[in-house]
Amino acid sequence: MLPWIVLAGFLLVVVRLFRSRRTSRLPLPPGPKGLPFVGNFWDIPGDFEWITYHKWCKAFNTDILYLNLAGTPLIVLDSYEVVNQLLEKRSAVFSNRCLDFVSVIRVFLDTDSFLSSRPQFPMQSELMGLDFNFAFMDYGPKWQKHRRLMHQHFHAGASRLFLPHTLKSCRNLLTRFLDIPDDVLGNLRQMAGETIMAIAYGIQVQEYNDPYIDIAEKAVHTLLAAGAPGKYLVDTFPILKHVPEWMPGAGFQRKAKEYKTLARTMFALPYSAAKQNFASGDSPACFTSRCLESLACAKDKAFFDEEVIQNNAGAMYVAGSDTTLSAIASCILGLLENPQVIKRAQEELDRVVKPGQLPSFDDEGSLPYITAITKEALRWRDVVPTAASRKLLIDEEYKGYRLPAGSIVVPNAWAILHNEDIYLDPFEFNPDRFMTKDGKLDQAVFDPERACWGFGRRICPGRHMAFSAIWINVASMLAVFDIKKAVDEAGNVIEPSHEYLSGLVCLPKPYKCSITPRSKEAEELIRGYANSESSQD
């Protein structure tokens, strides 16, 4: 085997030298001119940077943009064509491994390395202690174990085993809207947290002020605060991670210390409870209990251990809570501006769902317009506007441009999902764009799920579960509630602000609306479900 490795290494060096000489003559992709030393570091806004990226691409008439972050190349991919070419078809060259001889050989000899990895940001992975999240791990055996375990439990077929948890949380949400109709984001946050806690840990959370959800929400916001490349100076100049927190300008160290405590508490507290429940035989079916059972049966033959289980369970909450909240909250905003969509959706629901029943997942195939609304919510105000960044392993050439090794690569999903050439009036909330004239889903329209969950082998493994959660909550709310703009005491309509918080996950700011039962029968249906659940408990 060794002679083959040596030969492969020699050939690889020759190829790299040839490629380097060839690509070194090529120009970099276009982009705004930067300042000496810092480049474009100060040009990138701290909020909604994906919009600025797209404006620059328009100004330079390009779908591949080059920026210089104080010596670190940053490349923005602004169209599906370039994302597909570089992150799908050429994924082998996008890895954040060290660019040393052995690593490069492994990439070309190991077929599994035709994947995309992540650049490591010191603020996240080292200072904040978020290295447990496999979505941001470097490629390698550790990442493979985490990804394999997640895929086993959340591929399209396996994820359906967790649908009862999703359905229960959804119907609890309906009751909360009866009791607290004005707290839209609070109700959705409780539902999302309840869903993830049940699926990941089998924990049935308290209806209000649950300690697990409280600590998890605080911890999740730490990741969102540090998610974008260049958000903190230490990510561009890693040597700053050694600066003591008492020094002027080292506020990021104090933040990281606080964030790390929150993240580790979120990581350990629910897992410990789930493990105790499993040991006592009092654990409902959930990700943790199923994994612990498999581990006990396989013993030393298992490809994973408890660390992998605990890491994945924690990553599930990070990935699934605010994303579900954001998608449904944005959907409601879109519905408020388009009452005709609500009317058509309710007509479909009344036709399909039997009287005296709430929508279930068995109805999904018969409710294409609800599916169209869900897809439009994912497209219109996409939850993660810039998909998680990658890192280029070796010099690459594309469209006559030189893409330098070590570049951070940012796919601009927002630009893809608001492309005027793909979607007519892309900033309008219009589910009909996904429907044919005969009332079926139009398969010819670009499906937003091709961009909103990420790309390539690094695509979100929980996407099937996430789509189901959004779909059933949208269907259920429209089935039993009228959703309208709120009015003040004088009868004046209160227009939603449509303001958002910028971050790795984009969240709408709190807004007011009117959510009321469509009828007395609808209210009794919701209460009846709540009462039946209480009697079973």
Pick out the residues of the known binding site for heme. 460
Q: Could you tell me which of 259, 336, 329, 378 has the C-alpha nearest to residue 507?
A: 329
Tell me the HSE value of 485 on the side-chain side, using a 13 A CA sphere: 15
Q: Could you tell me which of 270, 262, 269 has the C-alpha nearest to residue 221?
A: 262
- Chain centroid to Cα 124, Å, comes to 16
Kind and range of the H or E run holding 409: strand 408-411
For residue 426, the tally of other CB atoms under 10 A from its CB is 16
Cα-only R_g, the chain: 24
Q: List alpha helices for 110-250, DSSP H.
A: 122, 141-154, 163-179, 184-201, 211-225, 233-236
- Answer whether 239's CB lies under 8 Å from 308's CB: no
**C-alpha distances out from residue 250 to 126, 311, 517, Å:** 15, 29, 52
Give dist(CA 212, CA 202) in Å, integer.
12
Amino acid of residue 54: H
Q: Which residue has the tokens 């909450």?
A: 317
Which residues are CB-contacts of 431 (< 8 A; sequence separation ≥ 6)? 341, 369, 372, 373, 375, 376
Q: Tell me if residue 485 falls in helix, strand or coil.
A: coil
- Answer whether 441's CB lies under 8 Å from 435's CB: yes
Q: Which residue has the tokens 């580790």?
A: 264
Query: Strand 408-411 relative to strand 72-77: parallel, antiparallel, unpaired?
Result: parallel
Amino acid of residue 46: G
CA-CA-CA-CA dihedral for 269, 275, 280, 281, to nearest 10: 120
Residue numbers belonging to the annotated binding site: 460
Spatial strand order in the sheet of 64-69: 64-69, 72-77, 408-411, 390-391
Which residues are CB-contacts of 504 (< 8 A; sequence separation ≥ 6)? 223, 224, 227, 228, 384, 388
- Answer whether 269's CB lies under 8 Å from 250's CB: no
DSSP-derived secondary structure letter, 126: I
Q: Tell me if residue 411 falls in helix, strand or coil.
A: strand
360-376 residues labelled b (16+ CB within 10 A) or e (exposed):
eeebbeebbbbbbbbbb
Answer positive or negative: Cα dihedral of 351, 171, 319, 316: negative
